[in-house]
Structure 1
Amino acid sequence: MGRIFEVRKSSMFARYDRMAKQFSRVGKEIAIAVKKGGPEPDTNPALRRVMQNAKGFNMPKDRIEAAIKNAMGKDISSYEEVLYEGYAPHGVAVLVVTATDNTTRTVANVRSHFNKGGGTPGNSGSVVFLFKHLGVFKLKSDGLNMDDMELELIDFGLEEIGDDADGNIIVRCAFTDFGNMQKALEDRGITPISSELEWIPLNTVEVTPEQAEDVFKMIERIETDDDVQLVFHNMA
């Protein structure tokens, strides 16, 4: 089961607003988690996940606490997660994860980004079948044995275990087993570097460097939208 993963990100945010975009994304994720499970991380696994990821890219503690407090306010915007689908140029499938308080605005903007980027927006179900929804945990390898972990975690939904180019251990489980895997790691005193719900392509599309540039230009356009949280694609 163990193998090396080449961990890819859908695209890089523009350098000038990368941190601001990350903080905005976490703020919305906190709002969604608090609304669903309450403000106490001890009893809210989704909130624990978001807080851990926030610490991973050095979001200040006071900003995390302020986001939780704001999420408890009666007047705070009520965000919901919505998934949009479509194709980038050259037949590359794209999934866009959004957190929005106005779906009318968001769907119009996302469709516009696809069209202006040379892609084609799709209906629900048109692309998602090309991906698998997985929980992805990145762990420091210090003191951990991959073979032992595979045996210990198989009963908690482990689907794949491997390492990335930086030597970190990557654990993947089904979306529905995310909570079980999170608790299994916590019970063993393992704090992930990050833990995300990702859409992993079942197969990838080969493109030329020039075609890849066209795809990334469209994805970067989408990622600048305030309602967009993450973008996934199946480009090799």
Structure 2
Amino acid sequence: MSGHSKWHNIQAKKGKMDAKRGKIFTKIGKELMMAAKEGTNPDTNAKLRDIIAKAKAANMPNDNIARVIKKAAGDTGSADYEEIVYEGYGPNGVAVIVEAYTDNKNRTAGNVRHFFDKYGGNLGTTGSVTFMFNKKGQIIIEKTEEQDEEELMMLALESGAEDFISEDTVFEIITEPENFDAVKAAVLEAGIEILEGEVTMIPNVTTSLDLETSEKFQKLVDALLEDDDVDNVYHNADFHEDFEQ
């Protein structure tokens, strides 16, 4: 398995969890609530625009999206969520970043700590693992016979991308966070379908795991993502080549 493959080795497994955790609408709803408090017009609120795109990609109904935004704008009695980031280590020293939206910090902190303890990890202090990651825009495009790799690469780079990677089944475009919207817009305007696009945390170093530890670490990721308050889990695990999700 390609240890250098950020998409297959890290994001794909995260994506699989997103698809099966069954609570995605609740989690996206919290993100929409937070973003909408900074402005309900997606044309002037880039964060809200990106989360609306994420909601639609998850097949969240437009009525649900509009309802959450309206509630955030006018309902002072709605839950006051805040974003909290936890850092820690999984089995074999895997670096883990957990992003949560919560209305009860004590509950969320207790749950996150419990999962780390249960599956052979431990929580760290702020800044303990973030230096192992870079905040980047990441756009994933599925390879098709119609795609011209050179044309797509030139489009991406000319619109502001900093890297273009060809994987076995996908193209991965990497951008600085501030250039993400422009590159994504250029790709969409060219009529190219995006499999996934978001500003994310990409590791600059990975930690190799044997098969047994890969399975143990995935249990930690699964447990975290099943928690209602947890929104994203980023890690730098290099899973064993025989590990299957």
* Superposed pair shares fold, TM > 0.5: yes
Task: Measure, in 1, the Cα distance between the counterparts of 2:112 and 2:217.
Answer: 15
Q: Cα distance 1:141–1:35, how it changes in 2: closer, same or farther (>3 A)? A: farther
1:116 to 103, 115, 118: 118
Task: Measure, in 2, the Cα distance between the counterparts of 1:68 and 1:228.
Answer: 20
1:231 equivalent in structure 2? 233
2:223 equivalent in structure 1? 221
Task: Measure, in 2, the Cα distance between the counterparts of 1:198 and 1:149.
Answer: 22
1:127 equivalent in structure 2? 129
2:157 to 154, 157, 170: 154
1:47 positional shift: 2.0
SS in 2 for 1:125: coil
Task: Measure, in 1, the Cα distance between the counterparts of 2:152 and 2:46.
Answer: 21
Paired letter, 1:40: N
List runs of 5+ in structure 2 lacking aligned partners. Answer: 239-245
Task: Measure, in 1, the Cα distance between the counterparts of 2:119 and 2:174.
Answer: 32
1:174 equivalent in structure 2? 176
Paired letter, 1:70: K
1:177 positional shift: 2.9
Can you list the C-alpha shifts for 1:96-128, whole angstroms capped at 9, x where unaligned?
A: 111122333322321222112221100001111
TM-score (norm 1): 0.83
Can you list the C-alpha shifts for 1:129-164, whole angstroms capped at 9, x where unaligned?
A: 111111112345676544334334435541222345
1:86 equivalent in structure 2? 88
* Contact 2:100–2:229 (CA under 8 A) maintained in structure 1: yes
List runs of 5+ in structure 1 lacking aligned partners. Answer: none
Structure 1 stretch displaced more, 202-211 or 77-86: 77-86
Structure 1 stretch displaced more, 151-160 or 196-205: 151-160
1:44 equivalent in structure 2? 45
Task: Measure, in 1, the Cα distance between the counterparts of 2:32 and 2:114.
Answer: 28
Task: Measure, in 2, the Cα distance between the counterparts of 1:149 and 1:161.
Answer: 9
TM-score (norm 2): 0.80
Paired letter, 1:92: V
* Contact 1:138–1:192 (CA under 8 A) maintained in structure 2: yes
Task: Measure, in 2, the Cα distance between the counterparts of 1:4 and 1:113.
Answer: 27
* Contact 2:156–2:173 (CA under 8 A) maintained in structure 1: no
2:60 equivalent in structure 1? 59
Paired letter, 1:96: V
Query: Number of matched residues?
Result: 230
Task: Measure, in 2, the Cα distance between the counterparts of 1:139 and 1:212.
Answer: 27
SS in 2 for 1:39: coil
Task: Measure, in 2, the Cα distance between the counterparts of 1:139 and 1:218.
Answer: 29
1:84 positional shift: 0.8
Task: Measure, in 1, the Cα distance between the counterparts of 2:176 and 2:35.
Answer: 20
Task: Measure, in 2, the Cα distance between the counterparts of 1:95 and 1:4.
Answer: 19
1:175 positional shift: 2.5
1:18 equivalent in structure 2? 21
